[in-house]
A and B are shown apart, each in its own frame.
Chain A
Amino acid sequence: MKNIKYLCLLLGPLAGLFSCQGYLDEKPEKSILVPSTVEDVRALLDYYTTINENALIDFIQADDWVTDDPNWQRLAPWEQNAYLWQEQVFEPVERSTDYSRLYRKILTVNVSLDVLQDLESSDEVRHLKGEALFVRALAYFQLAQLFLPSPVLDDGEIKIPVKLTPDMNQSPQWWTVSEVLVQVEQDLLDSYGLISPGSLSQNRPNKKVAQAVLARLYLYTGRWEEALESAEYVLDQNTGSLLDYHEQDSLAPYPFALFNSEVLYYGITSSFSVTASAATYVNMDLTEKYGKGDLRSALFFTKGTNGNLFKGSYNGDYNLFTGIALPEMYLTGAEALVRLGRTQEGLSLLGVLAGNRYQRPEDWEENLSKNPLDLVLEERQKEQVFRGTRWMDIKRLSAMGELGESPIREIGGKAYHMPNPNRLYLELPNIELDLEFQ
């Protein structure tokens, strides 16, 4: 029996040796991590294939483009519905990639913010916090444009789920467009305060980008003075960055380079059936608006079988550029100035952009006889074509009764009208509501 005691003494520590903490703390997989450092958050926010990818539905619904029956037939059913502005876009059991992706960005941000909170404050931690808040603000802003009415028409009934923490078990809050946009503004202002003034790579936001989105937000909500202020902030820092369209090669298959000097923030909308299709035609009514000497016409469009195709993407290929580019700030500034009654200032700001867009000064000056607001809106539509901002413009202009003729689409010999301004939002996918309230 002595032997047994001896043995236990021998075996005990032997077994104990391996149960020590370190042995079982090893990660089961090298590439997996629990985000906890600045580097981890940097990597999460650099996952640009999610963070910088924007929704497709707003492009489908906007009147930048038209297509024909055979091509419409090839679209996915939800794309077909969105094209015809149906109330129910998604099949009863269908989930929406756009919707899910936007909330996925928000979760990434909420996780990042959680990690950053526990880190000792440093410039980098503040910058990352600013970036995270920016990404969340932009995502909620896009959700508001898609699934909520224009803030002017907010009746307090239509809401979307909002989450500001990463906890999976916590139910979302349900907010109206006014409430959501207050949060968006706050996040953008906080972001502006924290974020770095410039960024190494155009997939990352910076102070200018935060102000640019603020300018968008103020324009959307009709706060012209603030819109002007934000646009001017961006323009002051970017003098001379405009691309001179005289120098671009209109014969090139895709004249613009990725990450060119006008790009403030990279963003992409990509879809094989819509953006890469040879039947995604530029709206004919729109192409007619490009007048004599307008360099954009040749740089943006190329002849297709049944109409013009778009080749002017700032991504340098058939993927849509839906990030933020400098010209938008000229247009926002000019519109704000005109609306504030500072018409001359507005037109001269617009003139700076036009100098790089029209062949000769005379070509531009011919336009100055038009109603200044109409001119600035028309220039906006012509400059921002296929850049993912048209749906936002349609929503705000129609809410103010300034859209003019309501767009019409024709499929299978039947005409479909865009709904009234107070119905210009998508219903949340059925299945999401089922899951939320299960």
Chain B
Amino acid sequence: MNRFLVCLLIVFSLSLSARSQSVELKGLVWDESGLPLPGAFVRLLDTEYTAICDETGSFSLDVPVGRYRMSVSYIGMETHEQELEIPVAEPLEIRLLAQSIDLSAVDVVSTGYQQIPKERATGSFAHLDRELVQRRVGANVLDRLEDVTSGLLFNHGPQAANDPITIRGRSTIFSDTQPLIIVDNFPYDGPMENINPNDVASITVLKDAAASSIWGARAGNGVIVITTYRGSEDQAMQVSLNSNLTATEARDLFYMPQMSIPDFIGIEQQLFANNFYRALENNANKPKLSPVVETLIAQRDGKITSVEAEARLQQYRASDIRSDLEDHYLQSSISQQYALSLRGGGKRHGYHLSLGYDQSAADLRDNGKSRWTLAGGNQWSLLRDKLEAGIDLNFARQRSDTRTVLPNGYAYESLTDASGNPAWVTHTYSTRYIESVEGKGLLDWRYFPLDEIGRLDSRNEAHDFRISPSLRWNITPDLDLGVYYQYWSNLASGRDRNSQELFYTRDLINKYSQTEDDGNLSYPVPLGDVLNVSENKSHSHTFRPQLTYSKDMGGIHFLNVLAGAEVRDRQGLGYTDRFYGYRDDMGSSVLVDWVSRFPMYYNPGSQVSILSAQSHSGTTDRFVSYYGNVGYDYRHRYFLTLSARKDQSNIFGVEANKRGVPLWSMGGAWILSEESFLDGARMPFLKLRATYGYSGNVDKSLSSDVTARYVNFLFYDVLPQMRAAVLVNPPNPDLRWEKIRMANLALDWETESGFFAGSLEYYDKQSSDLLGEYSVPASSGQMSFTGNFAETQTRGVDLNMNVRWFRKSIQWSTNLLFSQLREKVKDFEKLPTVANLLGTAFSAAPQPIVGRPLYGIYTYEWAGLSPDKGNPMGYLDGEASEDYLAISRAATIDNLQYHGPARPTVFGALRNDLSYRGFSLSVNVSYRFGYYYKRRSIDYFTLLRGEIGHGDFDRRWKQPGDEEFTQIPSLPPTADSRRNAFYANSGILVEKGDHIRLNDVRLAYTFSQDRQSWLPFRSAQLYAYAHNLGIIWKASDDALDPDYQTSKPLTSASFGVQLDF
């Protein structure tokens, strides 16, 4: 009779003859840090008894009573051997020591559907184990991937907000650009901030089609799989506590160079002399004018003497609002993190529980946020291991409070008066007007920013909850059925009370005030606070039945088949509302008239209804998917995988047969080191693998039918009560899903004792049917149109190398990540316009041109400054020219200067880890090469319309001869938009982005019972971590950081302790 052992995800079996005196041998295999080692190979030497550990690291064997020699091995670990007398009283606990610190080699990678020992994978996975995840300090889990993950790029440029992370270059142009994020086997719908990084055991990034095609249509941008801690059976309780404190410097308001204030005041005086402000001065809306202009008006009108005026100007010349803002508003921000976790297991039972609290004070006074997370779970083995049941619960509560906002003011305004009291600062209306209505019974219409510090009452809260029960039934030793389910819900609410003390509320009440016939004021916007509320409820159900079949055929053929279906339904419902005349002490508000239009107090010609701020939203996201995966393994030497998935979703207005997209992939691997011809090569591990397949992407906002959207009218519209709809999408019967085809070829190696290990991957990614937006003639009724129309190709190399220099008492290892990619557009139906190309630098729209990357830097070629006037010059028919209109008319895609890609094409990091006794030091240096950016410079057009300009003004051309040492144009006599547009889009402003950055340093000391036996706990680590330590080298002379053009990357320092009991 045969007995079978089933290990959770990699199923192994072996047959042996039953013997009456067999007893069960059970045990657990861990690594040094106490993490279970699924897939570890247990063998009784000189017998046929073998077992593989399941995902909790446990194994069991039925063996006859007797003496044995046992060996436990795991790739990347020192093989453990021991003598054994069976029966043994207690379950064995075996701790394997790392053979090498090549972390990637010891991993079990998770696809979210199954866990595969990395050595048997055919696809491209980047794996971060606990140590790498915990290396960085901070509240956000995705940040932990930065500069330690091969092929993954965090974007910092102007596109970063829409597209923060790209894996192996960008696939999509306009669809959702974010990778799919899987948390504990299910796509995660909530905000990433709700995941506590301290709960994360590992992160796997799926980079090629074979790895990600199992996720189908949402995997086109790559997949990030996050696995959190689990308890394991028969494991003593482990308790660990992590606590740290991070200080981050305050933002730097002086980072962007600004022209000198006396120069700016000079410009304002000149503009005033040219009557530039006259129209604004007399404008019926009483718009604000700067204090300098008001001073000049008062002087002109004889209200103050020229001596007084000059005294005021002198005072303005000497002040700078940025210093006041830094003094009164900004501080270093402090964040704290506490995490307590507990895990262990009894007989046929495992559990884990963790609690986390994060709190941070912003760099702006009185603002901050906090987060509580609670995670717990249990797993049971029932019915003699026939049934495995588990349940996980996760709860997160986030809260952010805003009590202060950074005020805006003119560059030289002061926040305090001469005696240090809060000063009146210009806001919205001219100071002349505010003074003229004093004593008319209105609320104080002046704005004192310093009085408003800490007075806002705005709070956003979110409660996030997940429950995921699972059942696995081992139907036969080869076959099991798993049923997995997850319910997720998120309730986000906002409450923003603007008290009547605030200028915002006083202004609102004042401007709607009506003077009645008897001269008294009436208040359509009632006295009291203005309260905004919003609520957004979302929830999702995911249900997944899955069959797994594993068969070992005589220890030669191994088959692993997985098939399942997944149904997902995510719904969201939200609203916003607003109350007027709110009294917090009474909890009551007053009804207002939202339909009538009221003449504004400051300008009766402007008639506006009261903003209702009511809005509603509702979303439904549905997927039905089928998937399957076949893995075949011959003698653990040759591997073949096949994977397929079909997704259908509720894309709007698409014929049923176009809703779905079948995607597939295949892969093969060959462990060369298993071959006898490599026996003498002293290369214990050498593997070649290749994959090919498809993944996809969908943009649910598009439709093949014409679509419209119901809109709420705004308060300044004349018929606010009307229900109306606006066209959003013209019909597009040809709409298709985006498809990404990727081929991946890789070599993994590891030399003896893990001295030199790594992987080198080459990939070719073809993205077709990409959705893109292109300009269309306005006669179509649209300015632009989004449809499938482009094809791109990305070819690249990812190299991940690890060298372990010393491994004695001093341990030193170096990890190098190197990625190089070449992205180009292969086909594009509509060419971008010249305006599109020039605009790319500061905006996020990719502009595809065949043969070039999606993001490129294009400019007008620069011909220097004209020697007589310091005007910028370009080329017109090959001659230097100042005829900007003609230059822009003559500009074509071909004659614009193409500098190069706007995103790094070579990037990576070099990390050195050193340890000696309890000390460890890790230094990570990252680099980015092969890209360009446009730097900002003086904008004379806006300067001559009264806005302060860039610091380049000080270095401008002033007189003939200056063109020898400056390329910054002269101040033109009048605002000339064409001259300005030419300069802003000229090649002289392009800089090379290449740089090397000292990313972070981590220093730690670990006390452990091995060394310090007096220690009351297993180990304790004290650590210090510093991040954003500055640029080591950069190609450009530009003073600013190439990746941070508008604000400084803030340096932070953290200190913490990690205790393991």
Contact = CB atoms under 8 A, between A and B. Distances in A.
Interface of A: 3-4, 7, 11, 14-15, 18-19, 21, 23-35, 40, 43-44, 46-50, 68-71, 73-74, 77, 91-96, 99-100, 103-104, 106-108, 110-111, 114, 160-163, 166-168, 172, 201, 203, 252-254, 258, 266, 268, 276-279, 304-305, 311, 315-318, 430-432, 434-436, 438
Contact of B650 (A28, A106, A163): A28
B14 interface: no
B777 A432 contact: yes
Contact of A92 (B705, B730, B783, B889): B889
Interface in B574-623: 597, 599, 603-607, 616-622
Contacts of A96: 778
Given A18-B565, A26-B620, 7 more contacts: A3-B476, A34-B652, A35-B725, A100-B778, A278-B282, A317-B605, A434-B833
A431 B619 contact: no
Interface stretch (B230-238, B662-670, B713-721, B910-918): B713-721
B778 A258 contact: no
Nearest to B700: A28
B710 A23 contact: no
* Interface of A (DSSP majority class): mixed
B779 A103 contact: yes
B978 A77 contact: yes
Contacts of B777: 161, 172, 432, 435-436
B776 to A, nearest CB: 6
A88 to B, nearest CB: 9
Contacts of A28: 619-621, 650-652, 700-701
Contacts of A278: 279-284
Contact of A304 (B282, B567, B617, B653): B282
B649 interface: yes
B874 to A, nearest CB: 14
B475 interface: yes
Given A24-B650, A166-B730, A47 B724 contact: yes
27 contacts: A3-B479, A14-B565, A23-B622, A23-B650, A29-B618, A29-B709, A31-B711, A32-B707, A32-B728, A44-B726, A47-B726, A48-B724, A95-B778, A103-B778, A103-B780, A104-B778, A107-B781, A110-B781, A111-B727, A163-B779, A166-B730, A253-B604, A258-B597, A258-B718, A278-B279, A279-B279, A436-B779
A71 B565 CA distance: 67
Nearest to B283: A278
Given A3-B475, A31-B616, A436-B777, A71 B279 contact: yes
Given A33-B709, A74-B279, A111-B706, A104 B656 contact: no
A91 B722 CA distance: 37
A86 to B, nearest CB: 11
Contact of A277 (B279, B597, B619): B279
A92 to B, nearest CB: 4
A106 B975 CA distance: 37
Contacts of A32: 652, 707-709, 728
Contacts of A104: 727, 778, 781-782
Given A18-B567, A46-B722, A201-B722, A254 B604 contact: yes
Given A24-B650, A279-B279, A434-B833, A92 B888 contact: yes
B929 interface: no
A71 to B, nearest CB: 5
Contacts of A35: 706-708, 725
B268 to A, nearest CB: 14
Contacts of B707: 32-35
B781 A47 contact: no
A7 B624 contact: no
Contacts of B975: 73
A33 B725 contact: yes
A273 to B, nearest CB: 9
A317 B602 CA distance: 13
Nearest to A433: B777
B619 A29 contact: yes
B922 interface: no
Contact of B710 (A7, A33, A166, A432): A33
Contact of B945 (A29, A34, A74): A74
Contact of A7 (B481, B778, B978): B481
A14 B545 contact: yes
B476 A277 contact: no
Contacts of B722: 46, 48, 201, 203
Given A74-B279, A279-B278, A434-B833, A30 B618 contact: yes
A182 to B, nearest CB: 19
B719 A24 contact: no
A30 B276 CA distance: 49
Contacts of B785: 168
B569 to A, nearest CB: 8
A50 B711 CA distance: 12
Interface in B749-767: none
A108 B285 CA distance: 34
A403 B718 CA distance: 36
Contacts of A315: 718
A70 B710 contact: no
Interface in B713-748: 713, 717-719, 722-728, 730-732
A104 B777 CA distance: 11
Nearest to B733: A169
Given A28-B651, A279-B278, A317-B607, A49 B717 contact: yes
A33 B726 CA distance: 10
A101 to B, nearest CB: 9
Given A93-B888, A277-B279, A318-B606, A103 B781 contact: yes
B831 interface: yes
B778 A432 contact: yes
A106 B779 CA distance: 9
Contacts of B888: 91-93
Nearest to B623: A24
A104 to B, nearest CB: 5
A34 B653 contact: yes
A23 B730 CA distance: 25
B305 interface: no
Contact of B731 (A7, A27, A168, A279): A168
Nearest to B726: A47
Contacts of A106: 781
Contacts of A23: 569, 622, 624, 650
B562 to A, nearest CB: 13
Interface string B475-499: 1100101000000000000000000
B82 interface: no
Contacts of B547: 7, 11
A73 B653 contact: no
B648 interface: yes
B619 A44 contact: no
Contacts of B648: 19, 24
B974 interface: yes
B601 to A, nearest CB: 11
Ranked 8 nearest A-B pairs via Cβ: A107-B781, A30-B618, A43-B725, A93-B835, A161-B779, A15-B565, A278-B282, A253-B604
Contacts of A276: 283-285
Nearest to B547: A7
Contacts of B885: 91-92
Contacts of A31: 616-618, 709-711
Nearest to A96: B778
Given A70-B275, A77-B977, A305-B278, A168 B782 contact: yes
A108 B607 CA distance: 28
B430 interface: no
Interface string B180-210: 0000000000000000000000000000000
Contacts of A29: 617-620, 652, 709
Interface string B270-312: 0000111011111111000000000000000000000000000
B368 to A, nearest CB: 34
